[in-house]
């Protein structure tokens, strides 16, 4: 019979690597599978200025390199493979890679994160990190004193617009319908903020600029009227999708696919399976909060193994 790992970690963002650091130092010999996007969402971020411990800021990819090095220093084994399916039916958990290799583990820590949804414009991809962002809290500061656009009409868009309105002279919200999905209180807030302009029935057609964002061409989907708005920052806030599809037959999740943890813990409904990071958080979504829950998951996993006298 194949060896049974003490701790298998799925995902390689701040949550996964923090879980790995704690698990490795606790003698759990963790094995981490990076998934399709090693390093996670921070790999598509430039400067990170709000992660404590970096007084001068750090580039997202460099920070993830540090996370990985620190996890490996204590013996974490990192595999650059994708987990394609899981079987949580027994006391020993079974996890399968894309090449159908079976891995057995006493505990599994899920840190698969979430991915921002994008509009899918060619100009959006081309100008990513050159003015295009999906996180105002992360990147808004870089556009201080300039005009910006926020696309979306949910709570995230409303929150991002309110945040940016404190930094930027003019915030333009592009709302594709004639009403907003955001909660009434958030709608009221954006509508009562003098430097937020809501463009109803309006969609981004193209983000303008060669090397960096210089403007956006928008179209009114009722009248067909087009216009250009000069901006430096373009924030897409049309929702996130948690990367949790492979767990849907096993783990409790909400309607949007976020995994549900037992309150005040990283436990899921399956003993020995723990969750951390954006896969279970659609509210805070910060590197530092993800790292915090990664730590919780490793501590919970360690207690689980100790209670079963496996370690
Ligand atoms: P939502 O799914 O609620 O909203 C997405 C918004 O993006 C909708 O207004 C949608 O428009 C719009 N949209 C989607 N696709 C496009 C597109 N291609 N072009 C233009 N617009 C598009 O996502 P959120 O991230 O805002 O919120 C997710 C969840 O998190 C919600 O339950 C929300 O309440 C919660 N949340 C709570 C917060 C809080 O309590 N402080 C803060 C942030 C989020 P349309 O309405 O036309 O479909």
pLDDT in tens, the chain (311 residues): 579 999 999 999 999 999 999 999 999 999 999 999 999 988 877 778 889 999 999 999 999 999 999 999 999 999 999 999 999 999 999 999 999 999 999 999 999 999 999 999 999 999 999 999 999 988 999 999 999 999 999 998 999 999 999 999 999 999 999 999 999 999 999 999 999 999 999 999 999 999 999 999 999 999 999 999 999 999 999 998 999 999 999 999 999 999 999 999 999 999 999 999 999 998 998 999 999 999 999 999 999 999 999 99
How much is the pLDDT for 45? 73
CA distance 162 to 148: 12
On whether both 165 and 227 belong to a single domain, the answer is yes
Q: Which residues contact 58 (CB under 8 A, 6 or more apart)?
A: 47, 48, 51, 66
CB 298 within 8 A of CB 19: yes
CA distance 163 to 167: 7
Q: 234: how many CB neighbours lie within 10 A of its CB?
A: 30
Rg (CA), the chain: 21
Domain around 179: 118-236
On whether both 179 and 227 belong to a single domain, the answer is yes
- Write out the H or E segment, with its range, that includes residue 208: strand 202-208
On whether both 214 and 247 belong to a single domain, the answer is no
Q: Is the CB of 173 under 6 A from ligand 1?
A: no
| 139 classed as catalytic | yes
3-state secondary structure (DSSP) of residue 43: helix
CB 260 within 8 A of CB 282: no
On whether both 125 and 259 belong to a single domain, the answer is no
Q: How far is the CA of 180 from the centre of ligand 1 (A)?
A: 9
Q: Is the CB of 176 under 6 A from ligand 1?
A: yes
CB 123 within 8 A of CB 212: no
Q: Which residue has the tokens 């430097």?
A: 195
On whether both 39 and 106 belong to a single domain, the answer is yes
Residue identifier of the C-alpha nearest atom 30 of ligand 1: 282
On whether both 286 and 297 belong to a single domain, the answer is yes
Nearest to 31 by CA among 58, 51, 10: 10
> What's the predicted TM-score (pTM) here?
0.80
Q: DSSP string spanning 148-167?
A: EEEE--SHHHHHHHHHHHTT
On whether both 209 and 123 belong to a single domain, the answer is yes
Catalytic-role residue among 3, 7, 56, 135: 135
Of 215, 236, 257, which residue is a domain's last?
A: 236
CA distance 206 to 215: 9
How much is the pLDDT for 55? 96
| 135 classed as catalytic | yes
């Amino acid at each position: 019979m194949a060896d049974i790992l003490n701790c298998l970690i799925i995902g390689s963002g701040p949550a996964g690597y923090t879980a790995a650091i704690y698990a490795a130092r606790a003698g759990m010999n963790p094995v981490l599978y990076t998934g399709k996007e090693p390093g996670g969402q921070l790999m598509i971020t430039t400067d990170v200025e709000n992660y404590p411990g970096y007084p001068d800021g750090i580039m997202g990819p460099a920070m993830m390199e540090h996370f990985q090095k620190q996890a490996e220093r204590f013996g974490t084994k990192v595999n650059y493979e994708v987990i394609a399916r899981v079987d949580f039916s027994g006391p020993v958990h079974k996890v399968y890679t894309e090449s159908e290799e079976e891995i057995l583990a006493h505990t599994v820590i899920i840190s698969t994160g979430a991915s921002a949804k994008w509009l899918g414009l060619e100009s959006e991809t081309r100008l990513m990190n050159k003015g295009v962002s999906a996180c105002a809290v992360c990147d808004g500061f870089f556009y201080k004193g300039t005009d910006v656009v926020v696309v979306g009409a949910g709570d995230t868009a409303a929150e991002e617009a309110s945040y940016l309105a404190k930094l930027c002279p003019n915030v333009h919200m592009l709302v594709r319908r004639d009403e907003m999905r955001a909660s009434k209180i958030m709608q009221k807030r954006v509508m009562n903020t003098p430097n937020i302009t809501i463009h109803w029935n309006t969609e981004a057609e193209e983000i303008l600029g060669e090397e960096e964002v210089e403007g956006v061409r928008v179209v009114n989907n009722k009248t067909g009227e087009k216009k250009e708005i000069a901006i430096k920052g373009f924030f897409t806030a049309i929702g996130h999708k948690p990367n949790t599809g492979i767990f849907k037959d096993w783990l409790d999740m909400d309607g949007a696919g976020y995994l549900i943890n037992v309150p005040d813990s990283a436990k899921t409904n399956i003993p020995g399976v723990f969750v951390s990071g954006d896969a279970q958080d659609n509210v805070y979504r910060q590197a530092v909060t993800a790292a915090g829950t990664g730590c919780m998951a490793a501590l919970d996993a360690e207690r689980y193994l100790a209670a079963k006298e496996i370690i």
